[in-house]
């Protein structure tokens, strides 16, 4: 399988190079040259197969010969070590729980899969690659856990000082070894700006090779398809058509779902449920999409939406037939969380609650479906911001309690690129080796 840059369709690379690069040289996102179609028999018999076989069947065409089947099977085995339960919340409404991994967030699957791929590609290399990532919380923990102790890979995570939860900070600052954290005196946007500047710094890249680890990387983005196939495997026996609502920010998760549908997975409709940051709902309303200069790196602008547009060949009408988007306020989100817990004793996290609201709104005018919304993180990750009426209902998993006794290790740093650049060069094994030669 080859991948081309969405900025320049003539620029093509292998899966291996797309993973190592993260972004194309022109800063475009990589997209597969062709979308494979799964056999009808596989879809019809999907409930007969185990999750690891399904995952390999889905992802292998996107990898081709770059990773042998035996190695790919091992990567999948090490990725899918936890379940994706489908919980009935109310009649015809189900929560797909994606928070049963090591860091209690949906990003565990993509981070672990990418770590396995990158580890395989770099195992024979003398020069390590550095995964450089900015986080507002969950991405950092998932990347730290997924890449922990992976040979040939160093990880540097930037996070805004005082602006992540205590649990999220512990998850990304307590592992040590090949995981390092920079606590930036600033905002998440400052962290993103510093990361972008590093990726644009050709001299730095020559001395310390960098790659991305958010959903712009194909190895983080594509394995998120697994969720949707596992969900369909469970609802197939209900003999109902499914609609799926995804709480959406950077649109990587829902884009993976729509890729699964393009491969042949029967999903009747997708709902993108957002908070008041409503770029995509506005696009679907008026057809106007405004990209920023930092599209591929700017979370405030959903970078993966360009992939969704490409999936539909820039055809707005076809896209609108498959995707509906809604926006919801914090007040609506809190009300939904309290209402569902009061009626059904099911505790949603704030993101899942937005997904639930979008699903309910769509099903109000499109009855008869089996509705699924994604619960993307465990409520304990938002213990300090959950409605006060629900905080006592949060049950912290044992692995969260263990973090309480660990000390964070992070370098406090101004939001200054020159200082970060100097630190990256001083701490890089690759740069030290290159300078010695």
86-90/93-97 β-pairing: antiparallel
Strands of 219-339 (E only): list them: 242-247, 269-274, 323-327
- For domain 128-208+407-436, the question of CATH label 2.60.40.10 is answered with no
Dihedral sign computed on CA atoms, order 137, 141, 143, 144: positive
* Residues in CB range of 94: below 8 A, 6 or more apart: 86, 87, 88, 235, 370, 371, 372, 373
**pLDDT per residue rounded down to tens, the chain (437 residues):** 999 999 999 999 999 999 998 888 888 999 999 999 999 999 999 999 999 999 999 999 999 999 999 999 999 999 999 999 999 999 999 999 999 999 999 999 999 999 999 999 988 787 889 999 998 878 899 999 999 999 889 999 999 999 888 888 999 999 999 999 999 999 888 998 899 899 889 999 999 999 888 888 999 999 999 999 999 999 988 888 999 999 988 789 999 999 999 999 999 999 999 887 766 767 777 666 544 332 222 344 677 889 999 999 999 899 999 999 999 999 999 999 999 999 999 999 999 999 999 999 999 999 999 999 999 999 998 888 889 999 999 998 888 878 877 889 999 999 999 999 999 999 986 554 444 44
Tokens of 347: 């505790």
Helices and strands (H and E) in the chain: how many: 20, 14
Task: Find tokens 């699903």 and name the residue.
Answer: 359
| Cα dist from 62 to 33, 165, 368, whole Å | 10, 36, 34
CB atoms within 10 A of CB 14: 15
**Interatomic CA distance for residues 250 and 159, integer angstroms:** 17
- CA–CA dist 371, 369 (Å, integer): 6
Q: Which fold has domain 83-104+220-393?
A: Rossmann fold (3.40.50)
Q: How far is CA 284 from CA 18, 251, 326, 361, in A?
A: 30, 14, 10, 16
CA dihedral sign of residues 304, 307, 308, 314: positive
pLDDT value at residue 171: 92
Domain positions in the chain are 83-104+220-393, 128-208+407-436
Q: Do domains 83-104+220-393 and 128-208+407-436 have the same CATH topology?
A: yes
Query: DSSP secondary structure string, 23-60?
Result: S-TTSPPEEESS-----HHHHHTGGGS-HHHHHHHHHH
DSSP state of 276: S
The predicted pLDDT at position 404 comes to: 77
């Amino acid at each position: 399988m080859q991948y081309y840059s969405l900025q320049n369709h003539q620029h093509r690379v292998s899966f291996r190079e797309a993973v190592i690069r993260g972004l194309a040289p022109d800063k475009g996102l990589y997209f597969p040259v062709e979308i494979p179609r799964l056999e009808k028999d596989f879809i019809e018999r999907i409930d007969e197969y185990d999750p690891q076989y399904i995952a390999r069947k889905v992802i292998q065409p996107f990898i081709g010969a770059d990773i042998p089947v035996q190695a790919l099977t091992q990567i999948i085995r090490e990725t899918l070590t936890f379940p994706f339960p489908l919980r009935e919340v109310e009649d015809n409404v189900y929560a797909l729980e994606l928070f049963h991994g090591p860091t209690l967030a949906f990003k565990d699957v993509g981070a672990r899969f990418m770590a396995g791929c990158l580890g395989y590609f770099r195992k024979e290399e003398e020069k390590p690659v550095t995964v450089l990532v900015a986080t507002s919380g969950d991405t950092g923990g998932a990347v730290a856990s997924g890449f922990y102790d992976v040979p040939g890979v160093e990880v540097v995570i930037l996070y805004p000082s005082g602006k992540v939860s205590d649990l999220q900070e512990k998850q990304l600052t307590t592992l040590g070894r090949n995981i390092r954290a920079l606590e930036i005196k600033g905002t998440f946007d400052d962290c993103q700006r510093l990361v972008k500047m590093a990726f644009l710094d050709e001299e730095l890249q020559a001395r310390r090779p960098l790659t991305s680890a958010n959903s712009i990387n194909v190895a983080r983005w594509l394995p998120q398809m697994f969720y949707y196939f596992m969900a369909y495997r469970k609802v197939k026996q209900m003999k109902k058509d499914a609609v799926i609502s995804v709480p959406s920010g950077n649109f990587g998760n829902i884009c993976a779902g729509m890729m699964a549908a393009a491969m042949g997975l029967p999903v009747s409709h997708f709902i993108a449920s957002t908070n008041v940051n409503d770029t995509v709902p506005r696009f679907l309303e008026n057809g106007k999409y405004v990209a920023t200069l930092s599209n591929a790196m700017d979370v405030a602008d959903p970078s993966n939406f360009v992939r969704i547009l490409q999936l539909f060949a820039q055809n707005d009408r076809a896209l609108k037939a498959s995707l509906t988007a809604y926006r919801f306020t914090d007040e609506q989100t809190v009300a939904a969380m309290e209402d569902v817990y009061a009626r059904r004793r099911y505790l949603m996290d704030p993101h899942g609650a937005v997904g639930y609201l979008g699903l309910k709104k769509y099903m109000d005018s499109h009855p008869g479906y089996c509705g699924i919304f994604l619960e993307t993180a465990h409520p304990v990750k938002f213990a300090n911001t959950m409605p006060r009426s629900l905080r006592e209902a949060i049950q912290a998993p044992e692995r969260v309690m263990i973090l309480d006794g660990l000390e964070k290790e992070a370098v406090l740093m101004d939001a200054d690129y020159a200082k970060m650049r100097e630190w990256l060069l001083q701490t890089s094994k690759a740069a030290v080796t290159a300078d010695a030669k």
